[in-house]
Amino acid sequence: MYRKSFLFSFFLLIAIFFGCTQRPALQLDAASSIVAPLSHPQPEFKSFKGSGDIFISYQGRRNSGKADVILDSNNSFRAIFYSPFGTQIGVVEGDSVGGRVAMDGEDFYIFMDEKLGALDYTWAHSLTLSEFISFLLGKMPENGTILKSRPDSIVNESRRAKLLWYTETADVTATVLRRTETLETVEFNYTSADNKHWSVTFSAFNDGFPREITFMDDSSNYVFIRYDFISAQQVS
């Protein structure tokens, strides 16, 4: 009996201790300062080399592999996606005028300001080739201008705080770890012209650069890239 009473008192003290030491709710002004660096002009790269993993799901059929993403000093871009066996499963190429996309059995040439409509994803019907390449290089939509404004609201959860912006073009959610006040994810949610929802999410930030980028319609249709290595030179 004494043992049970002691254990109960011990765990009760622990619960009280952690309850009393919980971080106070993150306030809007403090939260805004965490995402503020992303609202600055996005970096322009003179060159960029990144490699890592890619995960593709189309109608629930999932594939994974490796990715090499390269931007040369002459502004020539190419991203090559490989299967686990080393065979090429996708290519995105572009320059200042246009480019080529080969993925999911489609292979087509388009101008930089044309939509990726040949790919059967809602996000592809909404993004131009230029925007897709920009996001693969870790740049925020609309150059991060949405994040310049004060969030419309903030929701404090037990471990995280969510900053919310509502605009005519997108609903944006930035997730911050309350304990360390570090940014976890920034998710841009859109509605297409035919009233379908899609999103692009940036996460795993390192020195302000997202090492994970997800283009998603839903849990069965998405493209996710995770950079393990990045070497970039910004325009001075």
CATH number at residue 132: 2.50.20.10
**20, part of any domain:** no
**63, part of any domain:** yes
**6, part of any domain:** no
**77, part of any domain:** yes
Q: Which two tokens stand for residue 89?
A: 């499963």
Encode pLDDT of 15-29 as tens digits: 444 444 456 676 766
Domain residues for the domain of 151 are 26-234
**3, part of any domain:** no
* Among 15-24, 39-48, 149-158, 186-195, the least confident range: 15-24
* Phi–psi pair at 105, nearest 5 degrees: 80, 0
Taking all residues of the chain, what is their mean pLDDT, rounded to a whole number?
85
Encode pLDDT of 120-161 as tens digits: 899 999 999 999 999 999 998 876 777 777 888 889 888 999
Q: pLDDT-derived band of residue 181, with 50, 70 and 90 as boundaries? A: confident
Please tell me which residue, 223 or 181, carries the higher pLDDT value: 223
For the chain, how many structural domains are there in total? Answer: 1
pLDDT of residue 40: 66
CA separation (Å) from 32 to 163, 169, 176, 231?
Answer: 8, 20, 10, 29
Encode pLDDT of 151-180 as tens digits: 888 898 889 999 999 988 899 999 999 888
Answer yes or no: is pLDDT of 38 > 60. Answer: yes
**8, part of any domain:** no
Q: pLDDT-derived band of residue 119, with 50, 70 and 90 as boundaries? A: confident
40-68 average pLDDT score: 89
**10, part of any domain:** no
**51, part of any domain:** yes
